[in-house]
Structure 1
């Protein structure tokens, strides 16, 4: 969003609870005060992760879609620092390249604490109670809304990536768990 002047945008301030990763292991957002998602483009992920950490008080300026509790950040700053401003991904011919990342097959189970969205408000996954994020394409997430709603017990399978910033599962199948005590009682899996 390099064409938007951050000074004209609404400001939100709070404590960074945890980073969110995309399926390539890049930070592409964080949770503010445990309840609001902040999204930023992956080309800013490394830079932001070097400037802020969980527990820091941050000020975010950005836009909020009508349909979701998310801020698409244009600038992010710690209290006494210069803000990181989204100037667009292709400054000075510096192209963003996806990092090579190791993934491993995994199965996870947990209670959904927060639905996760893309910058335009499209549903893209969920944050579980243990901090694990589930990610899937918007068309799949839209069909599986009930599995990704706060309070749902979800069991998911896919490729997991984890690093110092967090853990995310690129979901290939998901099921709603009927009894929190028994993974064997999960509804039939649904492809994501």
Structure 2
């Protein structure tokens, strides 16, 4: 266990068991949040790279690429974990460390040492393909400023979208359809929406103008006397 992770785990224990005496010359502890739960599923980017997980109680945990390399091995689906990190405005937790409460395995966002070579693109990246999906919304995801930037659908699909693509509020149970590019892997479909609507018919109609824009009008023939 790295020194960084040991300090985070100690913080988690103190948060549960009570505050410990603080020396007058010690810096104030960094703010942190602790959440326990069972891993329900992992979340991925449209390229198929892990970037978060969802707990069985519905809470979402997000993490960076360094943690993604080890968190799935440390905390398989169905295992009970402890997440140490910082709660964001929408209630999701940005993880600094994950501890498997069954096996004791850990994952954190600190590299084990200085890399010998510059980091290379993830070998797990999948080629992007065109997908369409439609189902009721199960959960709305948010960006750092609180803006809706994605949804998890009832069929398990994960759809990201840029701010402004979806107009109006989104809520669980609402019908949602999207067409875009992404990949499908062991954790399901993850895609970036090009168009979104309340049903596939409307999404396909919108996509027709995006993927097949109308040709520009021809220039008028020159007038000849």
- The TM-score with structure 2 as length reference comes to 0.69
Which residue in the other structure is 2:201 paired with? Answer: 184
Of residues 95-104 and 13-22 in structure 1, the stretch that sits farther from structure 2 once superposed is 95-104
Give unpaired runs (5+ residues) of structure 2: 12-31, 211-225
CA shift, 1:117, in A, is 2.9
Which residue in the other structure is 1:69 paired with? Answer: 91
Which residue among 161, 180, 184 is the counterpart of 2:183? 161
* Higher gyration radius (CA): 2
Which residue in the other structure is 2:128 paired with? Answer: 103
CA shift, 1:10, in A, is 2.2
Distance 1:34 1:153, change over 3 A: farther
Residues 129 and 183, structure 2, Cα contact 8 Å, conserved in 1: yes
RMSD (Å), alpha carbons: 3.0
Which residue in the other structure is 2:159 paired with? Answer: 134
Which residue in the other structure is 1:123 paired with? Answer: 148
Q: What is the CA–CA distance in structure 2 between the aligned matches of 1:169 and 1:189, rounded to whole Å?
A: 17
Deviations 1:7-64 (A, max 9, x none): 4322101111111001221010011124111000123223111222211111101101
SS in 2 for 1:43: helix
Which has more strand, going by share of residues?
A: 1
- The TM-score with structure 1 as length reference comes to 0.79
Aligned residues: 181
Higher relative contact order (CA 8 A, sep 6+): 1
Which residue in the other structure is 1:180 paired with? Answer: none
